[in-house]
C-alpha cells in the first residue's frame, strides 16, 4: 500500500514521537446530580459520566426532541415559518411555563418556535404539535419514531412538553444523542438557542440558561425543571474549534444546574483537545485492485475523523490499518475494504472503515486472465 504524502508524513511523525506515557488528566469533578454526561460533539468521546444510562425524567429537555421534529417538518416543506397557527383551547390551557399565547388567535410558527426554545413555553409546544400532526398525541408518535431512529433506546415520550408522567422518560446518554443530531442537522435554527430573551404579546421573558450570560463560549441548549425531575440543563460550548456538550439532570436548584454544567465544561476544555485527523473523501492511501479496469484505487474515510484526547498527547497517537487480503473488482464507491484504527498508549480511541473513493469496474477478459495468472504466484 502506497501512502499519499499527508498520511505518510503523519505516520512518520507519530513513529518518531517519544513513547514515554504522559500523566493522565485528573478525574472529573464530582457533580451533584442524578445523572450527567460530558462529551465532545465531533468525536463523540465521553469525558465524564455518571448514571448516563439511568432512566430519568427529562422535564423540558423534552423540547429538544419537540424542536427536532418541528425542524424536520420545516426542512421537508410540510410546514413553513410563516404559517399562522390558530391557538386551541388545549394549547392555551396547558399548565407550566408559557409564552402567553391566547386562545383563538393566530401565531406564526416562527414565533412559536422562539417561544418554545427561549420561553420554554408549554403552550407553544402544544400549538406546534397540533399544527404539525393534528394533535399532540399524533405528534408524540413522531417524537418516538425519531427517538428510535436516533438510537435513543431508553427513551419514551408521552407529551411534547415534558410535563410529568410515569411513562415519560429518557437518559442523559439519549438526550445527548438528540442534542447532537439537532446541532448537526439544523445549523440554520440552532442559533435560536443562544438568544437571551424573547418578547411576545408585550411580554419579555429571559432564557433560563444562566450560562448564556456567564460564559461567552456557551451557545445553548435547554433547561428543564419539575418538582420530581429536579433542575436540568443541556449546555453546549465552543472554544478554539472544540465543541463540548454537557447533560446534567436532577440537581437541586437553578444555580446548581448552571454551576455543575460549568464545572464539567471547564474540566473538558482544560484537560482535553479534539483533533481532526482526516477529512472525508480525501485520499489517504492507494491499494492494488485485481481484475479491474484500473489497477489501483484511492482509499479514505467516509466521514471526517475526529479524536478527543488528553492535551499534549497528539504526538503519542499511533495509526494502524487492516485491509482485505485481496481486493478485486468490481468495487463500489464507499465500499469498505479495510479498517483504520487510532490508538493512544495502547488504547483504541477511534476505529473507522477505510472505503474506496470511486468505482472500479471489472476489467476485460485478457486483463482478468493476466491478473489470475499473477495471483497464482502471489
Catalytic residues, by residue number, are 60, 63, 120
Beta strands at 35-40 and 242-251: parallel, antiparallel or unpaired: antiparallel
Any idea what the Cα angle at residue 275 is, between residues 271 and 279, rounded to 5°?
A: 165
Grid coordinates of 65: 426532541
Grid coordinates of 21: 506515557
Q: What is the dihedral of CA 333, 335, 337, 338, to 10 degrees?
A: 110
Q: How far apart are CA 24 and CA 296, in angstroms?
A: 42
Q: How far apart are CA 290 and CA 328, in angstroms?
A: 5
Q: How far apart are CA 168 and CA 231, in angstroms?
A: 16
**Which stretch of DSSP H or E encloses residue 198?**
strand 197-200
- 318-324: long-range contacts (C-beta < 8 A, 24 or more apart)? 318/14, 318/342, 318/343, 318/344, 319/7, 319/10, 319/11, 319/14, 319/343, 321/1, 321/285, 321/354, 323/1, 323/287, 323/354
Which of 139, 40, 47 minimizes the C-alpha distance to 90?
A: 139
Which of 38, 50, 52 minimizes the C-alpha distance to 308?
A: 38
Q: How far apart are CA 310 and CA 294, in angstroms?
A: 42
Q: How far is CA 44 from CA 94, 107, 177, 244, in A?
A: 36, 38, 10, 9
Which of 159, 177, 179 minimizes the C-alpha distance to 169?
A: 159
Grid coordinates of 327: 481486493
Q: What is the dihedral of CA 118, 251, 264, 274, to 10 degrees?
A: -60
Amino acid at each position: 500500500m502506497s501512502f499519499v504524502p499527508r498520511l505518510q508524513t503523519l505516520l512518520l511523525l507519530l513513529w518518531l514521537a517519544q513513547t514515554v506515557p504522559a500523566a493522565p488528566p485528573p478525574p472529573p469533578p464530582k457533580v451533584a446530580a442524578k445523572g450527567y454526561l460530558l462529551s465532545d460533539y465531533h468525536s463523540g468521546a465521553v469525558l465524564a459520566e455518571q448514571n448516563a444510562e439511568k432512566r430519568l425524567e427529562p422535564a423540558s429537555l423534552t423540547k429538544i426532541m419537540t424542536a427536532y421534529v418541528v425542524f424536520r417538518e420545516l426542512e421537508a416543506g410540510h410546514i413553513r415559518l410563516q404559517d399562522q397557527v390558530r391557538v386551541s383551547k388545549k394549547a392555551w390551557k396547558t399548565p407550566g411555563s408559557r409564552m402567553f399565547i391566547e386562545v383563538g388567535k393566530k401565531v406564526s410558527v416562527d414565533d412559536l418556535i422562539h417561544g418554545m426554545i427561549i420561553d420554554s413555553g408549554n403552550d407553544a409546544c402544544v400549538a406546534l404539535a397540533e399544527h404539525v400532526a393534528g394533535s399532540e398525541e399524533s405528534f408524540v408518535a413522531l417524537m418516538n419514531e425519531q427517538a428510535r431512529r436516533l438510537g435513543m433506546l431508553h427513551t419514551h415520550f408521552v407529551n411534547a412538553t415534558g410535563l410529568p408522567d410515569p411513562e415519560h422518560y429518557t437518559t442523559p446518554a439519549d438526550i445527548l444523542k438528540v442534542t447532537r443530531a439537532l446541532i448537526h442537522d439544523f445549523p440554520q435554527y440552532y442559533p435560536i438557542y443562544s438568544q437571551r430573551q424573547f418578547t411576545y404579546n408585550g411580554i419579555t421573558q429571559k432564557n433560563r440558561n444562566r450560562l448564556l450570560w456567564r460564559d461567552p463560549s456557551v451557545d445553548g441548549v435547554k433547561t428543564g425543571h419539575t418538582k420530581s425531575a429536579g433542575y436540568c440543563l443541556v449546555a453546549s460550548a465552543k472554544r478554539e474549534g472544540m465543541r463540548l456538550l454537557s447533560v446534567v439532570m436532577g440537581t437541586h436548584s437553578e444555580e446548581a444546574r448552571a454551576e455543575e454544567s460549568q464545572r464539567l465544561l471547564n474540566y473538558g476544555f482544560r484537560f482535553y483537545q479534539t483533533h481532526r485527523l482526516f477529512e472525508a473523501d480525501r485520499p489517504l492511501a492507494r491499494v492494488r485492485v485485481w481484475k479491474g479496469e484500473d489497477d489501483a484505487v484511492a482509499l479514505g474515510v467516509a466521514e471526517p475523523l475526529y479524536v478527543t484526547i488528553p492535551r499534549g498527547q497528539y504526538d503519542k497517537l499511533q495509526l494502524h490499518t487492516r485491509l482485505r487480503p485481496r481486493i478485486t473488482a468490481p468495487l463500489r464507491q464507499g465500499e469498505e475494504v479495510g479498517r483504520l484504527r487510532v490508538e493512544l498508549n495502547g488504547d483504541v480511541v477511534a476505529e473507522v472503515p477505510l472505503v474506496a473513493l470511486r468505482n472500479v469496474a471489472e476489467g476485460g477478459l485478457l486483463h482478468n486472465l493476466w491478473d489470475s495468472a499473477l495471483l497464482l504466484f502471489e
